[in-house]
Structure 1
Amino acid sequence: MSKKIITIGEAMGLFVADEVGLLEDVKKYTRSIAGAELNVSVGLARLDHDVYYATKVGNDPIGKSIRNFIEKEKIHSDFVYQSNEYLTGLQIKEKTTEGDPDVASFRKGSAATHLSLNTIQKVDFSTFNYVHLSGIFLALSPKTKAVSYYFAEEGRRNGACITFDPNLRPNLWGSKEDMIKNINDLAAKCDVVLPGISEGHILTGLDKPEDIADFYLKGNVKVVVIKLGEQGAFIKRKEMEGKYIKGFKVDKIVDTVGAGDGFAVGVISGLAEGLSLEESVVRGNAIGAIQLLSTSDNEGLPTRDRLDKFINLSQH
C-alpha cells in the first residue's frame, strides 16, 4: 500500500532575476513558485508518492497559479484553502554566479499566515504515514505556530513519522533566542530532525555533528541527519554510533536554494519505500546535488528515472 505523506507551509509567487545584479536594478524576472515545504511535496510527487500539501493562498492570480501548479504536479489539493481577504505572499530572487542568492520576501500578513486550527482540523491524521514540517511555517504567525504543533502532535498520536527541517529564517523571528527556543521545542516532538551543520551550531551552540545529534536524541527524537554540504551528511540514531554518508560532487553550482528541500525529499521518500536510513540519506545527498544545477526552487527536482541515472553515473 502506498504511504501517504502530508506537508504544510506557505507557497509564494517567485520572481527570479533574468540578469546578474542587485535586485533593485534588475528589469526582467521569470515567474515561478517558491515554498520549502511545497518543494518537498513536488519532489515526493515526482517520485510517485501519494502527497497532500496544506496551505492558504489569496484569491488572486498568483494564488490561482499556485493551485494550478499543485494539481499539475499531481499533489492532492484537498487542504489548499483560499482567502478572499488576504493576498498570496511573494519573493524575488537574485541571479548570482557564486554563493547564495539574495532573496527578498513580501509575506507579512499573507493568506498563509492566517491558516488557522479551525480550518486545518479537517485533516484526518490516521490516514497519513508521514508528516513533514519546517521551521519556516512555525515562524510566520501565532496561528501557523499553533498549526505546526497540532500537526506534530496529532500526527504522532496517530502513528505517523514526523520529519522536521529547521530551515532557519532569522528575519521571521522576533529574536534569535525566540527562534532557538521554538525550533528546538518543535524538534523535540518529531521523529526525524534534519538540520544543516551551521543551523545545528546556531540551535545548540555545539560544533561537532556527533554532539549536535546527541542534543536532539536526548528526548523523543529517533534519528538526526545533519547536512554537511558537499561533504554529504552525518546520521545518528538513539544509542548507536554515528556515521558519515559521502556526498555527490557538483562541478558547477547554479543555485543553492532548494538543495536542503531536495535532501529532505530523498530521506523521506527512501524511508517511506522501506530503504535503510543510510540508503535514504544517499538518495537525499543525490537530490540535493541535482537541485544545485537548477535556478528554480523546484523545477530541477528529479523523476525516479533521472534520479537513478544521476546516482548510477556518479558512482561509476
Structure 2
Amino acid sequence: MILVIGEILVDIFPQYRRIGGAPFNFSYHLQQMGLPVCFISRIGQDPIGKEISDFLWQNKFDAGHIQSDSRHPTGKVMVHPQQGGSHNFEIITNTAYDHIQLPESPEDAKNQSPKLIYFGTLVQRTPKMAARMQQFLDNRGDWSKCFCDVNLRPGCYSSETVLASIARADILKINDEELKQVREMTGRHAESEDDFIDWLMKTHDIEMVSLTMGEQGSRLYTPGFCHETRVPDKGPVVDTVGAGDAYAAVVALGYLKNWSPDHILEQAAAFAARICQIQGAIPENRDFYLPLLQRTTGGLNDGTG
C-alpha cells in the first residue's frame, strides 16, 4: 500500500480549470498504473469540493480518506502561464488541506504498514501542519519508506520545514531551482551540485535522489552513482503543469518494482513528456496510460524492468 498525504485542489487557468495538487496527481497516476493507494486530504463543503467529489466518483478514485471541511474552502491555485511553457502560481491560503486531520501513525490509516509514504512541502506551509506531519512520519514503522517531493512555492514554506522533510526522506524528488534554494538553506552553496547531493544522501541516509532539470533533462542519484537522461522528443508542449508529479509517480513505481535506475529515468522522462502535451496535469482518458503500461509489462509483473 502507498500512503499519500497532501493537497487536492483546483488549478484555475485563464480559459479552463483542472483538478490538481501534486499529491493528488501522484496518487491518481499510480492508481491508474494499478497500484493500491490510500490518499489522505481535505476539501471544503463548497461547489469546488463537490466538483472534485464528482470527478473522483466518475473516475473510480478511492476518496474514502478525503475529509470534508465545513469551515474552510477547497484549495485553489490561480495559474498564470508564462512564455516558454512555464507558469506562475497564486496559491490561496488557509484552505481545507491546511487542516488535514492525520491519524496517530501511518499504520492507523488502513490498519497496515504502508510500503511507501509520499508527502510534500506545500501541505506543511503552516507551523501546526508541519509539526503534525513530522510527528506522524516519526511514528512510521521501520519498513515504511518515505518519498519527499520538494515543492517550493513563494510564501508557502520555511527553511526549517524543508530541511526537516529532507531529513526524513528515503527518496527525494527535487528540481534544479529548488536544489539551489536547499543548498542556500544548508550553507553549502559553494560546492558542486554532485558533491552537495552526495553530502545530502550520506548525511540523511537517502537511497535515491531524483533531480529534474527542465529542458536539460533529469538525473537519478543512487549511492556512488549518477544516471542521466535527456528530455525525449515527444512533440509540442501544451503546458508543463503536473509534469513533475507525473515524473515522480514513475520514479515511485520503478522504486517499488525494483527497476534499474536507467529504466526508471527512461520511463519517467517519457511519461512526463507526454503529460506536457495535454492541458492540465491529469489525462481525461485512461487509455493515456497504455503506452507506459505496455512498455513496462515485465517490470509491473516481476519487478525486473
Please give the range of the TM-score, normalised by the shorter of the 2 chains: 0.7 to 0.9
Helix, strand or coil at the partner of 1:103? strand
**Aligned position for 2:221:** 236
Write the letter of the residue equivalent to 2:54: N
Query: Given the alignment, which residue of 6, 22, 32 partners 2:3?
Result: 6
Deviation (angstroms), 1:223 = 1.4
Distance 2:105 2:17 in 1: 29
Deviation (angstroms), 1:74 = 3.6
Deviation (angstroms), 1:302 = 7.0
Deviation (angstroms), 1:12 = 1.3
**Aligned position for 2:117:** 131
Deviation (angstroms), 1:111 = 1.4
Helix, strand or coil at the partner of 1:287? helix
Helix, strand or coil at the partner of 2:19? strand
Distance change in 2, residues 1:130/1:302 (3 Å) = farther
Gap runs ≥5 in structure 2? 297-305
**Aligned position for 2:180:** 201
**Aligned position for 1:160:** 144
- The answer to whether the aligner puts 1:281 opposite 2:265 as a matched pair is yes
Distance 1:165 1:95 in 2: 23
Query: Given the alignment, which residue of 54, 57, 70 partners 2:43?
Result: 57
Write the letter of the residue equivalent to 1:215: W
TM-score, with structure 1 as normaliser: 0.82
Write the letter of the residue equivalent to 1:60: D
Query: Given the alignment, which residue of 169, 178, 194 partners 1:190?
Result: 169
Query: Given the alignment, which residue of 255, 269, 274 partners 2:239?
Result: 255
Distance change in 2, residues 1:151/1:119 (3 Å) = closer
- The answer to whether the aligner puts 1:36 opposite 2:22 as a matched pair is yes
**Aligned position for 1:307:** 292
Distance 1:94 1:295 in 2: 14
Distance 1:31 1:16 in 2: 5
Distance change in 2, residues 1:151/1:44 (3 Å) = farther
Deviation (angstroms), 1:15 = 2.3
Write the letter of the residue equivalent to 2:215: E
Helix, strand or coil at the partner of 2:64? coil
1:53-132 → structure 2 map (5 Å cutoff):
53-95=39-81, 98-106=84-92, 108-117=93-102, 122-124=108-110, 126-132=112-118
Gap runs ≥5 in structure 1? 19-29, 174-178, 312-316
Q: For residues 155-198 of structure 1, give each alpha carbon's deviation from its aligned partner in whole angstroms, at most 9, with x where no partner exists.
A: 3x24112111111112213xxxxx23321221111100111112
**Aligned position for 2:32:** 46
Q: For residues 233-274 of structure 1, give each alpha carbon's deviation from its aligned partner in whole angstroms, at most 9, with x where no partner exists.
A: 222223x23222333124422111111111101101122223
Distance change in 2, residues 1:13/1:242 (3 Å) = closer
Distance change in 2, residues 1:267/1:297 (3 Å) = same
Write the letter of the residue equivalent to 1:216: L
- The answer to whether the aligner puts 1:222 opposite 2:207 as a matched pair is yes
Distance change in 2, residues 1:10/1:223 (3 Å) = same
Q: For residues 80-108 of structure 1, give each alpha carbon's deviation from its aligned partner in whole angstroms, at most 9, with x where no partner exists.
A: 110112211222223556331233222x2
Tell me, yes or no, if the aligned pair for 2:115 and 2:143 is still in contact at 8 Å. Answer: yes
Distance change in 2, residues 1:73/1:120 (3 Å) = farther
Tell me, yes or no, if the aligned pair for 1:230 and 1:248 is still in contact at 8 Å. Answer: no
Distance 1:112 1:46 in 2: 23
Helix, strand or coil at the partner of 1:172? coil
Count of residue correspondences: 288
Distance 2:205 2:143 in 1: 14
